[in-house]
Structure 1
Amino acid sequence: MDNVYLSHNNILSSLGFDSFTVIDSIEKGNCGLSVYNDNKVLHVPFCSSRIDPRELQNRYEILGPKTEHTRLEKMMLVSLYDTISKSNVTLDERTGLLISTTKGNIDVLEEESSFPEYRAYLSELGDQIQDFFGFHDKAIIVSNACVSGILTIAVAKRLIRQGRYDRIFVVAGDLVTQFILSGFNAFQALSLESCRPYCNSRTGINIGEVAASVLVTKNPSELAPESVQIMGEASCNDANHISGPSRTGEGLYRCIENAVLQSGMEKNDIDYISGHGTATMFNDEMESIAFDRAGLSRTPVNSLKSYFGHTLGASGLLESIIGMHSLHRNTLFASLGFKELGVSRPMNIITETTKKDINVFLKTASGFGGSNTAVIFKKV
């Protein structure tokens, strides 16, 4: 059976417009979150990460587009263009396109938008990206709440293993919008401070925006220096509640167990966990229970939400890309702002960015509707 790898990649975020700039910034302990007072999107101040619109427009214009694109489409196009260019891959019939997002072009439904309402359909977003680059097949959209980004990697691996494609480009993105902020504000979940996942003094979630892209391939000749192999993956639904995770961590626990089983590895081979870590009470507690049940309470764990906020359907892909760079830099990145454990089960939170010989990491994600996904990656 073919091995499948993550290869060339790009991150577009408040910390930079390419992966290496972003990783350097994280290693220095920089935070991409800021407090905004923008009545167009929320009637109260909020803490968030947002992509510089001027820099985005400059990068977009270099592409020489022939049609008008939304802000999310511009983000995805700029990110994916960088990844495709670095890969030197031909976009033939053996090359697929997967798109991950939670809400897509939801901002076109706002009053000030100049785009027609049909641009809010996720299929239209897929068509715009496919047409721009000239992919042979229509884009496959993965939109399963906040596990979308990491689930898309799992779906790409499955499609390649099934022989449908030799390689797949994955691009993910979500926006900070009125719809999303007002929803989390209604939950009383937004924090005006930078989020502190798993910390006893955490005050809630931040929403961020990011675009990220990666080449998933079975061909060793198409690998980047920072490539990792996808060893095992699993996804399941805990069927607990529309917005609340299982109190027993059942769904995430089963994902971890199945991903480990598929990988053929032992749990003590896992050098660290890149957790979901939203800094909300129910999510952080559920993760601590699931990790403890899986026998991973001593494994180093971080959450990267403290750098970008929760970037929704892009978060899993973003954090997987950072994880692959973490392995090749032999560096464990700190969870910013963590002070004191605020969950019921023991967790080994990474409090300082540390150099360490590491080869394998586990990425987990959980989302609304009871969705859970876990993927294990190994350094190439």
Structure 2
Amino acid sequence: METDCTSNDSGAAGAITPLPSGTRLLHIGPHKTGTTALQGALFAAKDTLPEHGVAFPATSRHPMEAVLAACARPAMIGDPRPADRHWNRLLEQVHATGRSTSVISSEFFADAESEATIARIVEQLGGGRAHVLVTLRPLTRVMPSQWQQYVQNGLRTGYEDWLDHMLRRAPYEKPTPSFWRRHRHDRLVERWARVLGPDRVTVVVVDDSDRDGLLRTFESLLGLPENLLRPAPDTANRSLTLAETEMLRNLNKEFRGNGLPDELYSQLVRNGAVMHMKNSCKPSPGDVRICTPAWAVEAAAGIGAEMAGRITAMGVRVLGDPELLSAVPKPAAAETPAAPRIAPEVAAQALYGVLAAAAAAPVRHTAAAKARTVHQTTSKELVRVLGHRCLKRLGRR
């Protein structure tokens, strides 16, 4: 689950100096550093922010399609290719904010590969008015969360095997080349600082012991009243348990092994089974969590210390304690780990999600079905629709 942060600063008496009025604050993530929690809070306060000279110009919590298009990155597996019109629309919304301070937040900005791409994005968003903010958490926290997110996008590699590739097998690019582009945090900060200059880059180090710290830090940076930004719960963003992730990973193997189309994965698996399971099932204290082995924790902490040292030497503004990036979490009490088992109700909800997604898919010449979302269909209607389709297919045969 993505949570929050604390903040120290170089301002008087430890106070955070707000950004200049009219700044276009570009929050680039990276992934799994509190981005979803922050985006939800900003979007929930969207109508109140203008009273304080701040705008959140996006029309959705996260303008993912727009940012993927800007960074020339592919969409999630099976989703439509990002179009330039999405980015152009976001630019129009940003420019319409006039002289207000505006906030654009997407972790996919961290996927921008070249300085030329970064320079173009910065220039289009306002040039000299742009200021970049990077939120960071320790790799030891990021790695399990990022792995299960990759599995939700089709990854078939087990956690320890994935860690082995990321930490032990040079050039550390397979099977997920985006991981170190996002999470070699010193190089990420350096790429953006080269374009904007270090005085226009702020790094916030997330402290997971302070759940609302990130929101308070953003309020200070934007000159907002305290507690204006409030957590906006999002069950669809919760992390999967080990059993849920392993169930999905094995499904990914079957899916790929049988050559099914990517569009089907997007519709039935990610936006069907997984989304419905997340919304309907809350992990219990007894569920087995994703556990990082000691060797990987030590390796990640060492990389974190190296990154923290390089970032603090760059001259960028750092809020929070950089030493947190190399902190080693306390080991859990020694006991034999339980085998991950998927609860029957969780499996049932995942299966129902697939059925709901199939029933809600657009049907030719059926306007009502096109307007229907996945989870707005009753069980009785699902059975009727699916039965009708099966009969039609049998009739064709």
Q: TM-score, normalised by structure 1?
A: 0.26
**Which structure has the larger Rg?**
2
Q: Which has the higher helix share?
A: 2
Q: TM-score, normalised by structure 2?
A: 0.25
Q: Which has the higher strand share?
A: 1
